[in-house]
Chains A and B, each alone.
Chain A
């Protein structure tokens, strides 16, 4: 049981703290407001032995409540202290948001994006469905491939729209942090999936291209030199050679893609041409529009122009050194 003197001291201390908290109030109002303060505190103190703060709250809280009731007529109740704390946080959050959304550039962008809110509800449902399908089938599917998967997508879309509408109607009750977190996750996943799919697509296209490029040379001839139609071997002295059989490094007959250059084998000569006997007897391909003549056609076509001797290799054959004197057996005496 506190003594009267201690009680007096408590009252005096409490009053002093309240006055201090109201130091910024204009003097006239302040005097008015605090005129009966000590009397009131004394009455409360007389009521029970409890510390003043139990009944009245902290001096700072008391001062705020007093100020509010005096200035604007707003009322705070004993139970509202915790509500005020939450309210302060919420008002901080909304002030911050107001500041961010107020900046012209950001505000314009954000307001524009808000128009797509409904679309976002559908997109995030699709992302969630994507994840589910991934675990379902162990592979990425961009669209549902069966009735069950369609059902899943529909359920997610409906749930997402319902959630979006509900949280818009109840801004105070929705777990904002959680929803914002999940939304952020969905955005990340969406970006990640797009990047992933894009890379995979690029990779598969790249492989296709390589395959296409490699195909002809692999399929058509084992060792083709694509740009060459015919070969003209020359001897060291610059003499054109004929009927030279050529083979590649693996021992296969060398074959050239003369048809790609508009040539065909001239089969009108007496012996049938050997495929790797160079130079090949080539001639211009027959005009495909011409009517096929009955019987074996052997219209002398224009042969492939052969390089003239003087058109031979432009390089000057490196002068070979004079044959070294072969050791001849000296006749023994």
Chain B
């Protein structure tokens, strides 16, 4: 089982979690997700997710002008986004707990 299947359900949650820590622009969100360990995530998937979350009203966006480089569009969580993050995080915790129970006797190796 590779992480593609797993990511399908939780990329929204991962993106929200990253933005919760600090506002960020697209490219940076991808970088931070990969640094956190999700090295398989694709750029276009993150960008598409950002645009969708924005369209759904979970994110604010603003442009930060820059003298040396291009202007960057930043994204940040709004109230709705934070609520969605909290709800999804609870769902995730319960699910992970259930799976871990199921896999209690299975040797998972050291992460």
Contact = CB atoms under 8 A, between A and B. Distances in A.
B7 A77 contact: yes
A56 B43 contact: yes
8 contacts: A33-B51, A39-B25, A43-B25, A68-B45, A70-B51, A77-B7, A77-B42, A79-B40
Shortest 3 CB-CB distances between A and B: which pairs?
A: A69-B48, A43-B27, A65-B44
Contacts of B48: 33, 65-71
B4 A83 contact: yes
B97 interface: no
A73 B3 CA distance: 15
Contacts, number: 97
B49 A69 contact: yes
B37 interface: no
Interface string B1-39: 011100110011000000000000111000000000000
Nearest to B46: A69
A37 B49 CA distance: 13
A76 B42 contact: yes
B43 A40 contact: yes
Interface in A126-181: none
Contacts of B49: 69-70, 73, 75
B108 interface: no
B75 to A, nearest CB: 10
Interface of B: 2-4, 7-8, 11-12, 25-27, 40-49, 51-52, 55, 69-73
Contacts of B70: 39, 42
Nearest to B11: A75
> Taking chain A's interface residues, is the majority helix, strand, or loop, or is none over half, making it mixed?
helix
Nearest to B49: A69
Contact of A73 (B26, B42, B46, B52): B52
A167 B34 CA distance: 37
A75 B45 CA distance: 6
A73 B12 contact: yes
A36 interface: yes
Nearest to A43: B27
Interface of A: 32-33, 35-37, 39-40, 42-44, 46, 55-57, 62-63, 65-71, 73-80, 83
Contacts of A76: 4, 42, 44-45
Contacts of A71: 48, 52
A68 B48 CA distance: 8
A62 to B, nearest CB: 5
Contacts of A83: 4
B54 to A, nearest CB: 8
Contacts of A66: 44-45, 47-48
Most buried by A among B12, B25, B44, B70: B44
Contacts of B71: 39
A33 B49 CA distance: 10
Contacts of A33: 48, 51
A65 B45 contact: yes
Given A35-B51, A44-B27, A77-B7, 20 more contacts: A32-B51, A35-B73, A37-B47, A39-B73, A40-B27, A43-B26, A55-B43, A56-B43, A62-B44, A65-B44, A66-B45, A67-B48, A68-B48, A69-B46, A69-B49, A75-B7, A75-B41, A77-B2, A77-B42, A80-B4
A66 B49 CA distance: 8
